[in-house]
Structures are given as structure tokens and as C-alpha cells.
């Protein structure tokens, strides 16, 4: 930190208020809490995102318990209810909804389901994938000192933080959090099933208010990302010399910028329906509990779905593109091979971004919007699979002939490829309206989507954490603990999501809180997967019935294995910050991109020299070169640029 | 440490950072308002009621358009003057811009204010009566309330766990008591004055007792020492029957329903939703039977005029004709003499501010509508119908943008003098960025005005 800070000191006489920081040693608060440094903000986003991922996962564990063992008290519930403080917190958030015996009911299951989706998507993966990695890595990779608008960046994080607080607050209000699924479909979400003293004791109102802040945060973030990428690329960093990571962030920025406002509209209109009693999404003659509602009617629930999915489909690509961004760094670096088909990947990701705005209504085949519409969206949906396949294929071919280092991040990366492939391919049938009509809202859809984001995106995020950890902290995460993290995660994920495919095709609906027990007569048939489960259970002396319901137990055991698998990660993460093996070099993985040209950890202002991009970002195993990597910043082999960075500061004035 | 290209443009892109930023932001704003405009189209195409046409005051809207366009000119002038370093002219132009924003918002508040005082009541047959609630001698609106008398007993439900509805009589019952707040007796005969502290005590005792009895809900009964009256607006209570009234905190009071009729000074009869308009419930002998003749005369006049002017056009497809012939405006307390003015020829009618109503001679007939005839009522707010819902959302968000933009420009004018002296080029960049936003706000209005006022 201090090395870079002092080297800038002679720039004092420029009195722009943009750099009130940097002149003096910042106090703790300004350095770590209200920081406008892109790296600190990235870490803030990252930690918040990780905590929410864990919390969302915990919600899912509760759900899985109810699915596998409906009506059975949650294990250790009495224990939790005895711990002081935790007891009260648990009681206010979940306990007050449980049955008297401590088992789950449909009401809390719906809350858990809605909040699991909301938290994982909007508070876990997007902040971690886009905001955290993007904020930390992207400005380093394009060789700039910070984002274009550092204070806006800080504001973005704090808007996000407010939205986190509001969203968590919804657990504590009168009705508890939302119960209508993460999609918040109207009219269910626009009316109040239970009378409330004031709209503010309703969890929906808080959900919507939180989303307005969340959307504003991502809007500020995306403006910042795009402006930075356009205007702050360092000397020599032409568009096609930019690492693919930055291209992906560029496209995500546009997706967030243009797709989120319609969701904001959807949220504002729904908020108006709730608070001002308007009828945007409420049709004429709507009744609830046998009574006409006190509304004018005349609106349409379809309007909500269109506005919502106009965001939420691009959002899917906001979830998956950070994964590709990270893997295009991790895979070439650890395969010691250039990224195969860099340019086709760039064009593909741009195409993908464009097409993602034209496919939203494939979530709405069942709404009866008409066969013409369905046909149109069917075509665009099938089209969009082409660029996705190009991206995945390029990553796979990049492995060909490489001398692969199987460190933890590479394990996660290698597991991503087939897992995402599986998620993607199971999505293809859903693109066709006639198949979707049968599979809509079944576990098949849940399985498909989770294969894309869980062993897909989340594995890539893990890979990214292991990869950049030495740059962030100066220490490695333990490889051994990493492997203990990887294998249970891989096994657990597949045990959770693979049986969903079978259950889904058997017609299991995604919102059954009892996992289908109520429909035992119709869901009680057996299948080779259930017979297998039965036999494996018998081997361990367990009596698991030979019918589709038994898969619920498989999945819940899988979730438990997955939970155990995260324990080594949490240990590894926190203990390696101070106790991990020290990284001796600023470029411990022998990588080629500019983020590895900074001191470790990167100081305020990032670079000690004026970085110039001399070549493309993936010059690995270059024939005739002395080492198997040729970094972007070296003008001649082994000779880093040494021009002091301070000159750059002056050059702009 | 200095972020590059904050003042001067990067040579290869030709842009300084903030300019990229604002254009991206505006792209996102286009999507925001695009979403709202799409919602407007969606709602209008799917409307299953006569979409209000020509309901707003075009004159006011027109002058607001002029004001906003003028401010867009002055903000460019301000920027140009700053570039030329004519600081005096910069200040003047900037000040005019901000003043224009103030004028715009003032006009907007007139428009909104009139709507909040204007009511529409939908009768069971689909007729909509528009008008105002009566006013007391101070000019305050006397709202429609449900009145209960002989109330003696309050039943308060207190769930043990945190819940959406829990008794809070101090905030949700006492405000609706007419006259002095009564004293209450608790179940064990103690006499209390119901206030926050006393209720908190009661509540704590009730919860403790329920917990001891392993119950989820506690009930507290309070008996008033003397019967009292309550009057509450329907939005302030959950519901009522002939003998009980339930407040929004779940508290139930027993008593006797005195009155739930609505008094309305009618200024319009909208029969577009009625199969046989001349037999509308509005012309029932209890209500406006003496206006039926005038209504029919007005309708026939407009229909024959339309037939005369546009012999080839389909009458049923003219929203304007529907409105002029079937939405009858009342301009006096009694029906006009036969052959007199045929209602409002031009349809487009400013809902005059309520100040002109109620005092002195009556301008409108007053009717007392029975509860059983009312299906729905609202003032002219988002609740009234989807047109007013999208109208308020669009203009409200636009208004928020006007205020935000004006505050930013005002900041440049008042608080950025240091930059003006030391780095006018940087300030010019800022004004340019603020001006681009201002133009966008103007542009949105250019779309809003025809969409909401003219179409």
C-alpha cells in the first residue's frame, strides 16, 4: 500500500476533489468500510455474496428436510431453541412458523423457497460473480488504477447493502417473508391473502423495496463497468487484446444496464398495487376468500410476467457469464495453453448478450399467450444455444494437448465443463413449447436450472476464489482442504440434482412441501433409479421404499454431503488469510494477464509501473519462448516494464 | 492518484468518462420508461372498461410542455456560456432552467391536488358518478365514513408470536372515536384510561397468561364506562356488519351501525358501462331522476351531431362520441331548462380545483347514495382504474426525474463556485452531463403529453 501511495505524493498540487483519498494514510473506516477503491469494494461484495450463498443454502437444507421427511421435526430443533440469542433470532425468522412439534408446513416452505431463489440469484451469485470478481479483477486486467467513477462504485455497494438489510428485515415483519416464489407472480403477489394492519407489516412490501435498491445498485455498477472498459484501458490494450474476462464483464454490464429497468418497472407497479391499491396486474372481478376485492380491476397478470421475464432471462446470462469469465482465466493458465478460439468466443458472447433479450417468453409457454408468440420464442431460444455451445466448446478444446496442473481451481473448472454441459443440454427440450407444457414447473426444470448455476456457476466461482486468493491476500489456500472441498461438492451436487430429472419427468411439482407424499398413490411407482436406491439403502440396513419418493431421501442426503463439503472451504478460506502458505511471487500461477503484474496485494493505485499491453492475453507455451508464458506487460522476454506509474498521473494533465 | 479522462476526452474514444456514464445511464432510463410505455400500451389494449380519453387538462399540459422545452434551451445556453467563460450569463440561464423546473412542478401539484379531491363512485349497474365530497365551513373535505353508535365493548386479539395483525387500539381505534375518548374497564374491573402505557401493561399481562396456558392467542376485553360513537373511513377498517366493526389492528367493537350512506356532490354521470344508459341507477327516484331528461337530450344531441358531421363513421367505435354522449356533466344544482346548453360540448374538462365547490350557492346536485348501491369508489388516484394508475406512475416518476435533475443543476449553480473559478472546463463537463439528463427528462415529457393528454 504505502509504496504506491508515496510514489504518487508529488501529485498533490492538483486539487481535484476526486482524490481526497490517497494523500494521507486513510483511517480504518475510509480504507475498509466506506472505501472507493475497486479492490476493497470487490472484497466487500465478495464477502457479502458468500455469506448470502451460505444463508440461501441453509434455507434450502430446511426445505430439503421437509421434502424428504414431511411432518418430521427438524433435527436438533430443540437444541437450537435452547441457545441464547440464536434462539430468539431463529424464533423470529423461522421458529414462529413451524408446527408445534418442530416440523415444517407449507407456509414456511413457501417462504423458504421464495427467499432461497431471491437470495441465491440477487444476493449471492450476481454480487459474487459480477460485482466481486468484476470489481477486483477487471480494472487490474485492463491496467487502470481504479474504476471510472470510484465514488459511484462505493454508492453501488452501499445501495446493495441497504437492499440486503431490507431483504433480511422481511423475515421479521408480521407476515414473514414472501411466499410466492422468487418470481413474485401477480395476482398472488399483488394482493394480501391475510389482512394486515399496514402494508409495511407485509413481507412483500419489503421484498419490493429491497429490489428497488438492489436494482439501483446494479445499475450504478454496470454503468461504471462499461465506462471503465471503454475509457480506461491502458496503453496497447486494444479491444481484441483484452482478456475474455473483461469481454464477459462488458456484456454482463449491458445486460444489467438494459434488462434491469423493466424489472424495476415491474417492482414499482407491483408496489403501487400493494401500497396505493391500483390494479396493474389485477384482472376485473378478482375474488379472494369468496369476496370481491376492493379494486378497480382491468389490469393483467401477463403484464407482470412479461416485465419480469424481460429481466429474468438476461439475468440467467448474468448468472452464467461470470463463470465463463473466470474459467477463461483459470483454464488457459492451468492448462498452459492459449485460449482456443478467443475471437469466436468474443463474438459469441456478444451474440449471446443480444439474443438474451429476445427469448424471455419461453418461460411463459403455459400462460396461453398464443402459439404465434410461442413459435417465435421457441426459435430464438434454440438460436441462443448456439453461442453458448461455442463458449463451452472453446473452453473444452483449450484443454487439448495442455500440460494440466490439477490444482483445486482446475478441478472445479474441469468439473464445470461437463456439469454445465449437462445443464445446458437438458435445457434444450424445454425450449420447445410442446415439451415445456408437460415439464413446466416440475423438478425437471429445477434440475436443469440448478445444473447450470450450482455445479456450473458456483463451481466456477469457487475456482475463481482459489485462483485469485493469492493475489488478494498474498497467501495460497490449502490444496488439500481444497480437494476435501471439491469431491464432496461434486458428489453432493449430483446427488441433489440428478434425481430431480427423473422426478420431474414423473411429474413431481416444484412446490410440493411434502415432496409428493400427499400424492403417494400417483407418485408411488418404481423406476430403476428407485430400485437402485432401495438396494443401496438395504445394503446399509436402511428401509428406503422402492418408489419415486425415495429419491427425495437421496437428494436430501446429497444436500447434507454438500453441506459437509463446504466446511473445509470455510476453514480454508478464513485460516488461509493469515495462515496460508505465502506466495513468493506476484505472479504465482505464471499467468499472462495484467492483474498479475501488480504487487501483492495490489496497493491503492494498483501498478508500480505504467502498464502497457504488448500482446494478447493468452500467450502460453509460445514456441521458441524461454518460459511457457509470455505476459502481456513484458516488452521483451523476461523484462517487465519499469516506467514509474507516477508519470502516468502527470501525463493526463 | 487521479482517475484519467475526468476533464479531457480520451483521444481514441473522443469522450470523457462522465459523458460515457450519462449516455449509458440514459440508455437504462430509456428501458425504464420504455417498460412503462409498453405497460401503457398493454393496459390500454387489454382494457375491459372505457379507457378514459381527454380526461386531463390539455391547457395546463401544453403550458408545461412549453416550460420544459424552454428550460432545455436555457440549459444549453448555460453550457455554451460556460464554455465561452461568460459566467454571468451562465448563472442567469442556469437559474432560469431551475425556475422552469419549479414552475413545472407547481403546475403538476395543481393537477394532482384537484384529482385527490375528486371522487368516482361505481354503482352496482356499472354507472359511475363523479363528484366531490361535501366540505365543512373551513373548506375541509368531509370524508365518507362508516358510523357506529352505542359502542361499549372492545375485543382485542393479541397473538403471542410476532404477527401481521396484533391489537393496537391506541393507533387504530381511538383516532376514530367521536368526541372524548371514553374510559374503559378491564375484565378484572379496573378502570383505565386507554393509552400506550396502559395498553402495554395489559398486553404484557395477557401474553404472560397465554404463555402460562400454552395458548397462541390472548384476548383482552375492554368495556367502556359509557357508550361512545366511532366513525371510520372504509380504508381504515377491515370490515363491518350491522352490529360489529373490525378495525385494522383486528380489534372488534360491538355496537349499532348508524350510517354508511355516502354523500356526494355529483358533477358527472358516466353511463358508458351500462347497457341502457337512460335507465341507469343514477336516474333512480332516490338519486338524480330529474336529470334524466337533460341526459337524454344531451346524448341525442351529440349522436345526431356526430351523424351529421361524420355520416360514414361507426358510432360505436368513436371513444370521443361515447364519452360526449354517455358521460354527462352536471354544471348546476338543478337540471337546466329544456333546450338550454347541452352539457359540455368539448368533453375535455379540467377538474376544477375543489375550492370552487361547496361554498355559497351549490354548483352540483347532492345525492346520498346507499351502501348497497355502491360496488367501488375511489378518488382520482391510482386506485381508480388502470389509466389513472399508469398516469400517476408515469407522471410521478417523470416528476421525480424533474426534481432530481433540477437539484443537480441547482447544485452546480449554487455550490460549485470553487470549480467555476478554478476549473471551469470541468464544471462545463458537469453541466453538459446534467444538461443531457435534462434533455432526456424533457424528451420523456414530449412522449407523455400526447400519450396521456391527447390520445
Domain range summary for chain B, segments of one domain joined by +: 17-116+385-454, 119-135+263-379, 146-262
Closest-approach residue (CA) in chain A for B162: A174
Residue A466 CA to residue A327 CA, distance in Å, equals 12
CATH 1.20.120.80, domain B17-116+385-454, yes or no: yes
Chain A CB contacts of B238 below 8 Å: 195
Residue B245 CA to residue B52 CA, distance in Å, equals 36
CB contacts < 8 A (A, B): 203
Q: Is the pLDDT of residue A33 over 90?
A: no
Q: What is the mean pLDDT of residues A72-94?
A: 90
Q: Output the tens digit of pLDDT for each of chain B's 455 residues.
A: 789 999 999 999 999 999 999 999 999 999 999 999 999 999 999 999 999 988 899 999 999 999 999 999 999 999 999 999 999 999 999 999 999 999 999 999 999 999 999 999 999 999 999 999 998 888 888 999 999 999 989 999 999 888 888 899 999 999 999 888 888 998 888 888 888 999 999 999 999 999 899 888 899 999 999 899 999 998 889 889 999 999 999 999 999 999 999 999 999 999 998 999 989 999 999 999 999 999 999 999 999 999 999 999 998 889 999 999 999 999 888 887 765 544 444 443 444 444 444 444 568 899 999 999 999 999 999 999 999 999 999 999 999 999 999 999 999 999 998 888 899 999 999 999 999 999 999 999 999 999 999 98
Q: Is the pLDDT of residue A20 over 50?
A: no
Nearest alpha carbon to residue A472 among A137, A80, A72, A152 = A137
Q: Are B78 and B93 in contact (CB under 8 A)?
A: yes
β-bridge partners, B151:
B228
Phi/psi of residue B267, nearest 5 degrees: -120, 5
Across the interface, of B2, B36, B166, the residue whose CB is closest to A649 is B2
Q: Are A443 and A510 in contact (CB under 8 A)?
A: yes
Chain B CB contacts of A149 below 8 Å: 3, 17-18, 21
Chain A CB contacts of B383 below 8 Å: 276-279, 295-296
**A227 to B426: CB separation less than 8 angstroms, yes or no:** no
Residue A235's contacts (CB-CB under 8 Å, 6 or more residues apart) are A143, A610, A611, A612, A613
Q: What is the mean pLDDT of chain A?
A: 89
Residue B359 CA to residue B340 CA, distance in Å, equals 25
pLDDT reported for residue B120: 96
For residue range B357-389, list pLDDT tens digits in order. Answer: 444 456 889 999 999 999 999 999 999 999 999
Q: Are B273 and B127 in contact (CB under 8 A)?
A: yes
Angle at A483 between CA A565 and CA A394, to 5 degrees: 105
Alpha-carbon distances of A558 from A115, A451, A499, A553, B209, rounded to whole Å? 21, 14, 10, 8, 45
Nearest alpha carbon to residue A489 among A396, A597, A542, A561 = A561
Chain A CB contacts of B388 below 8 Å: 278
CA distance B225 to chain A (A): 27
Phi/psi of residue A87, nearest 5 degrees: -55, -50
Residue B150's contacts (CB-CB under 8 Å, 6 or more residues apart) are B227, B255, B256
Alpha-carbon distances of A485 from A479, A636, B373, rounded to whole Å? 9, 40, 69
Nearest alpha carbon to residue A508 among A438, A436, A421 = A438
For residue range A38-69, list pLDDT tens digits in order. Answer: 999 999 999 999 999 999 999 999 999 999 99
Phi/psi of residue B314, nearest 5 degrees: -80, 120
Q: B210: which 3 cell numbers?
A: 397465554
Chain A CB contacts of B3 below 8 Å: 18-19, 145-146, 148-150, 232
Q: What is the DSSP letter of B248?
A: T
Q: What is the mean pLDDT of residues A364-379?
A: 90
Residue B116 CA to residue B133 CA, distance in Å, equals 11
- Domain positions in chain A are 419-473+491-582
Residue B179's contacts (CB-CB under 8 Å, 6 or more residues apart) are B228, B229
Angle at B105 between CA B104 and CA B111, to 5 degrees: 95
Q: Is the pLDDT of residue A362 over 80?
A: yes
Nearest alpha carbon to residue A311 among A227, A222, A419 = A222
Residue whose entry in the numeric block shows the C-alpha cell 428485515: A169
Helix axes B17-46, A203-231, angle to 10 degrees: 140
N-terminal to C-terminal alpha carbon distance within chain B = 55
Closest-approach residue (CA) in chain A for B9: A231
Nearest alpha carbon to residue A140 among A640, A616, A614, A603 = A603
Residue whose entry in the numeric block shows the C-alpha cell 410476467: A305
For residue range B211-265, list pLDDT tens digits in order. Answer: 899 888 899 999 999 899 999 998 889 889 999 999 999 999 999 999 999 999 9
Is the CA virtual torsion A117, A120, A126, A127 positive or negative? positive
pLDDT reported for residue A194: 54
Residue whose entry in the numeric block shows the C-alpha cell 480506461: A232
Q: What is the DSSP letter of B262?
A: E
**A605 to B168: CB separation less than 8 angstroms, yes or no:** no
**Chain A contact present for B450, CB below 8 A:** no
Residue A576 CA to residue A580 CA, distance in Å, equals 4
N-terminal to C-terminal alpha carbon distance within chain A = 24
For residue range B258-291, list pLDDT tens digits in order. Answer: 999 999 999 999 999 899 998 999 999 999 999 9
Closest-approach residue (CA) in chain A for B427: A16
**B2 to A16: CB separation less than 8 angstroms, yes or no:** yes
Residue A575's contacts (CB-CB under 8 Å, 6 or more residues apart) are none
With 0-12 / 13-18 / 19 or more C-beta atoms within 10 angstroms meaning exposed / middle / buried, residue A172 is middle
Q: Cα A17 from chain centroid?
A: 35
Q: B21: which 3 cell numbers?
A: 456514464
**Chain A contact present for B372, CB below 8 A:** no
Q: Cα B341 from chain centroid?
A: 32
β-bridge partners, B379:
B119
Residue B414 CA to residue B424 CA, distance in Å, equals 14
Burial B393-419 (b: 16+ CB within 10 A, else e): bbbebbbebbeebbebbbebbeeeeeb
Please report, to the nearest 10 degrees, the dihedral formed by the alpha carbons of residues B14, B15, B16, B21 taken in order.
-160
Confidence of residue A652 (pLDDT cuts 50, 70, 90): very low
Residue B44 CA to residue B28 CA, distance in Å, equals 24
Angle at A23 between CA A22 and CA A25, to 5 degrees: 75
Residue A525 CA to residue A533 CA, distance in Å, equals 13
Nearest alpha carbon to residue B162 among A111, A199, A90, A174 = A174
CA distance A441 to chain B (A): 26
Q: What is the DSSP letter of B235?
A: G
Q: B361: which 3 cell numbers?
A: 350557492
Q: A514: which 3 cell numbers?
A: 411434502
Q: Cα A487 from chain centroid?
A: 21
Q: A290: which 3 cell numbers?
A: 369468496
Across the interface, of B6, B32, B48, the residue whose CB is closest to A261 is B32
Closest-approach residue (CA) in chain A for B37: A265
Q: How many CB atoms lie within 10 A of CB A457?
A: 27
Strands B374-379 and B244-247, how do they pair?
unpaired
Residue B80 CA to residue A622 CA, distance in Å, equals 54
**Chain A contact present for B116, CB below 8 A:** no
**A303 to B162: CB separation less than 8 angstroms, yes or no:** no
Q: Are B101 and B402 in contact (CB under 8 A)?
A: yes
Alpha-carbon distances of A435 from A378, A516, A522, B106, rounded to whole Å? 11, 22, 21, 56
For residue range A407-455, list pLDDT tens digits in order. Answer: 999 999 999 999 999 999 999 999 999 999 999 999 999 999 999 999 9
Question: How much is the ipTM here?
Answer: 0.91
β-bridge partners, B245:
B240, B253
pLDDT reported for residue B350: 40
pLDDT reported for residue B101: 97
Helix axes A301-335, A371-398, angle to 10 degrees: 10
How many residues appear in chain B? 455
Phi/psi of residue B366, nearest 5 degrees: -105, 130
Residue A153's contacts (CB-CB under 8 Å, 6 or more residues apart) are A36, A38, A41, A135, A147, A220, A221, A224
CA distance B163 to chain A (A): 4
pTM of the predicted model over 0.95: no
Amino acid at each position: 500500500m504505502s509504496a504506491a501511495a508515496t510514489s504518487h505524493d508529488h501529485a498533490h498540487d492538483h486539487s481535484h476533489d476526486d482524490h481526497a483519498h490517497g494523500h494521507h494514510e486513510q483511517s480504518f473506516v475510509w480504507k475498509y468500510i466506506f472505501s472507493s477503491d475497486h479492490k476493497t469494494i470487490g472484497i466487500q461484495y465478495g464477502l457479502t455474496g458468500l455469506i448470502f450463498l451460505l444463508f440461501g443454502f441453509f434455507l434450502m437444507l430446511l426445505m430439503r428436510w421437509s421434502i424428504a421427511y414431511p411432518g418430521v421435526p427438524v433435527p436438533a430443533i430443540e437444541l437450537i431453541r435452547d441457545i441464547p440469542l440464536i434462539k430468539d433470532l431463529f424464533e423470529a425468522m423461522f421458529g414462529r412458523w413451524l408446527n408445534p412439534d418442530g416440523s415444517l408446513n407449507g407456509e414456511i416452505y413457501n417462504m423458504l423457497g421464495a427467499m432461497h431463489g431471491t437470495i441465491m440469484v440477487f444476493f449471492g451469485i450476481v454480487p459474487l460473480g459480477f460485482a466481486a470478481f468484476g470489481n477486483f479483477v477487471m480494472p487490474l486486467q485492463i491496467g487502470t488504477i481504479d474504476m471510472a467513477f470510484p465514488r459511484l462504485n462505493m454508492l453501488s455497494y452501499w445501495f446493495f447493502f441497504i437492499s440486503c438489510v431490507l431483504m433480511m428485515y422481511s423475515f421479521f415483519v408480521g407476515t414473514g417473508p414472501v411466499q410466492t416464489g422468487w418470481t413474485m407472480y401477480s395476482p398472488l403477489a399483488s394482493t394480501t391473502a391475510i389482512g394486515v394492519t399496514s402494508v409495511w407489516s407485509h413481507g412483500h412490501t419489503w421484498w419490493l423495496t429491497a429490489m428497488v435498491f438492489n436494482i439501483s445498485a446494479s445499475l450504478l455498477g454496470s454503468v461504471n463497468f462499461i465506462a471503465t472498459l471503454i475509457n480506461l484501458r491502458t496503453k496497447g490494450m486494444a479491444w481484441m487484446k483484452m482478456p475474455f474476462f473483461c469481454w464477459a464483464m462488458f456484456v454482463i454490464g449491458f445486460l444489467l444496464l438494459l434488462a434491469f429497468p423493466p424489472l424495476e418497472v415491474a417492482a414499482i407497479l407491483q408496489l403501487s398495487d400493494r401500497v396505493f391499491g391500483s390494479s396493474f396486474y389485477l384482472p376485473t372481478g378478482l375474488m379472494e376468500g369468496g369476496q370481491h376485492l376492493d379494486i378497480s380491476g382491468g389490469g393483467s397478470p401477463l403484464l407482470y410476467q412479461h416485465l419480469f421475464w424481460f429481466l429474468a432471462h438476461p439475468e440467467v446470462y448474468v448468472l452464467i457469464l461470470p463463470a465463463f469469465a473466470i474459467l477463461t482465466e483459470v483454464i488457459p493458465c492451468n492448462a498452459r495453453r492459449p485460449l482456443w478460439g478467443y475471437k469466436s468466443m468474443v463474438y459469441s458472447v456478444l451474440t449471446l448478450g443480444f439474443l438474451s433479450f429476445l427469448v424471455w417468453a419461453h418461460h411463459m409457454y403455459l400462460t396461453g399467450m398464443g402459439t404465434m408468440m410461442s413459435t417465435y420464442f421457441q426459435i430464438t431460444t434454440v438460436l441462443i444455444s448456439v453461442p453458448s455451445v461455442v463458449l463451452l466448446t472453446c473452453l473444452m478444446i483449450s484443454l487439448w494437448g495442455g500440460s494440466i496442473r490439477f490444482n483445486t481451481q482446475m478441478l472445479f473448472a474441469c468439473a464445470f465443463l461437463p456439469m454445465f454441459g449437462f445443464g445446458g443440454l437438458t435445457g434444450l427440450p424445454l425450449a420447445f413449447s410442446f415439451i415445456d407444457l408437460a415439464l413446466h414447473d416440475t423438478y425437471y426444470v429445477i434440475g436443469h436450472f440448478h445444473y447450470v448455476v450450482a455445479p456450473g456457476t458456483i463451481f466456477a466461482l469457487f475456482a475463481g476464489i482459489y485462483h485469485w486468493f493469492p493475489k488478494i491476500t498474498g497467501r495460497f489456500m490449502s490444496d488439500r482442504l481444497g480437494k476435501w472441498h471439491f469431491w464432496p461438492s461434486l458428489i453432493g451436487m449430483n446427488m441433489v440434482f440428478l434425481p430431480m430429472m427423473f422426478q420431474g419427468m414423473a411429474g413431481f411439482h416444484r412446490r410440493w412441501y411434502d415432496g409428493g407424499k400427499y400424492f403417494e398413490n400417483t407418485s408411488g411407482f418404481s423406476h430403476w433409479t428407485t430400485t437402485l436406491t432401495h438396494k443401496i439403502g438395504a445394503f446399509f440396513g436402511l428401509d428406503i421404499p422402492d418408489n419415486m419418493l425415495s429419491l427425495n431421501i437421496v437428494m436430501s442426503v446429497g444436500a447434507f454431503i454438500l453441506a459437509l463439503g463446504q466446511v473445509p472451504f470455510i476453514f480454508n478460506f478464513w485460516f488461509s488469510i493469515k495462515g496460508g502458505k505465502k506466495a513468493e511471487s506476484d505472479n504465482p500461477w505464471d499467468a499472462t494477464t495484467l492483474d498479475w503484474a501488480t504487487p501483492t496485494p495490489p496497493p491503492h493505485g494498483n501498478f508500480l509501473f505504467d502498464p502497457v499491453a504488448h500482446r494478447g492475453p493468452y500467450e502460453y507455451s509460445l514456441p521458441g519462448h524461454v518460459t511457457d508464458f509470455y505476459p502481456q506487460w513484458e516488452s521483451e522476454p523476461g523484462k517487465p516494464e519499469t516506467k514509474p506509474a507516477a508519470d502516468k498521473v502527470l501525463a493526463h494533465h | 492518484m487521479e482517475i484519467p479522462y475526468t476533464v479531457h476526452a480520451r483521444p481514441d474514444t473522443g469522450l470523457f468518462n462522465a459523458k460515457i456514464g450519462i449516455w449509458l445511464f440514459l440508455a437504462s432510463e430509456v428501458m425504464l420508461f420504455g417498460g412503462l410505455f409498453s405497460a401503457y400500451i398493454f393496459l390500454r389494449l387489454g382494457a375491459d372498461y372505457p379507457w378514459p380519453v381527454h380526461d386531463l387538462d390539455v391547457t395546463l399540459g401544453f403550458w408545461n410542455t412549453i416550460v420544459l422545452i424552454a428550460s432545455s434551451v436555457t440549459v444549453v445556453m448555460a453550457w455554451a456560456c460556460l464554455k465561452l467563460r461568460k459566467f454571468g450569463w451562465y448563472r442567469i440561464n442556469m437559474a432560469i432552467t431551475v425556475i422552469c423546473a419549479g414552475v413545472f412542478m407547481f403546475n403538476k401539484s395543481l393537477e394532482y391536488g384537484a384529482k385527490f379531491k375528486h371522487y368516482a363512485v361505481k354503482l352496482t349497474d356499472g354507472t359511475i358518478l363523479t363528484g366531490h365530497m361535501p366540505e365543512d365551513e373551513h373548506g375541509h373535505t368531509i370524508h365518507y365514513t362508516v358510523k357506529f353508535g352505542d359502542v361499549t365493548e372492545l375485543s382485542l386479539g393479541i397473538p403471542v408470536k410476532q404477527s401481521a395483525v396484533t391489537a393496537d387500539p391506541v393507533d387504530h381505534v381511538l383516532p376514530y372515536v367521536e368526541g372524548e375518548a371514553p374510559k374503559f374497564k378491564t375484565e378484572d374491573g379496573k378502570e383505565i384510561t386507554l393509552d400506550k402505557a396502559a395498553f402495554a401493561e395489559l398486553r404484557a399481562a395477557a401474553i404472560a397468561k397465554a404463555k402460562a396456558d400454552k395458548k397462541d392467542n390472548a384476548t383482552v376485553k375492554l368495556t367502556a364506562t359509557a357508550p361512545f360513537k366511532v366513525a371510520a373511513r372504509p380504508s381504515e377498517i377491515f370490515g363491518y356488519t350491522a352490529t360489529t366493526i373490525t378495525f385494522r389492528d383486528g380489534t372488534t367493537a360491538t355496537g349499532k351501525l348508524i350510517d354508511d350512506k355516502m354523500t356526494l356532490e355529483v358533477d358527472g354521470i358516466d353511463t358508458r358501462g351500462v347497457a341502457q344508459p337512460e335507465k341507469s341507477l343514477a336516474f333512480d327516484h332516490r338519486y338524480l331522476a330529474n336529470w334524466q331528461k337533460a341526459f337524454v337530450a344531451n346524448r341525442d344531441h351529440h349522436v345526431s351531431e356526430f351523424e351529421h358531421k361524420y355520416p360514414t363513421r361507426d358510432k360505436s367505435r368513436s371513444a370521443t362520441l361515447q364519452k360526449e354522449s354517455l358521460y354527462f356533466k352536471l354544471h348546476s344544482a338543478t337540471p337546466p331548462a329544456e333546450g338550454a346548453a347541452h352539457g359540455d360540448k368539448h368533453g375535455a374538462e379540467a377538474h376544477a380545483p375543489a375550492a370552487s365547490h361547496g361554498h355559497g350557492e351549490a354548483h352540483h346536485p347532492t345525492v346520498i347514495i346507499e351502501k348497497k348501491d355502491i360496488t367501488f369508489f375511489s378518488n382520482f388516484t391510482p386506485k381508480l382504474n388502470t389509466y389513472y394508475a399508469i398516469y400517476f406512475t408515469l407522471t410521478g416518476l417523470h416528476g421525480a426525474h424533474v426534481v432530481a435533475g433540477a437539484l443537480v443543476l441547482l447544485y452546480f449553480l449554487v455550490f460549485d463556485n470553487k470549480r467555476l473559478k478554478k476549473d471551469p472546463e470541468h464544471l462545463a463537463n458537469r453541466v453538459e452531463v446534467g444538461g443531457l439528463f435534462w434533455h432526456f427528462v424533457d424528451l420523456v415529457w414530449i412522449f407523455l403529453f400526447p400519450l396521456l393528454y391527447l390520445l
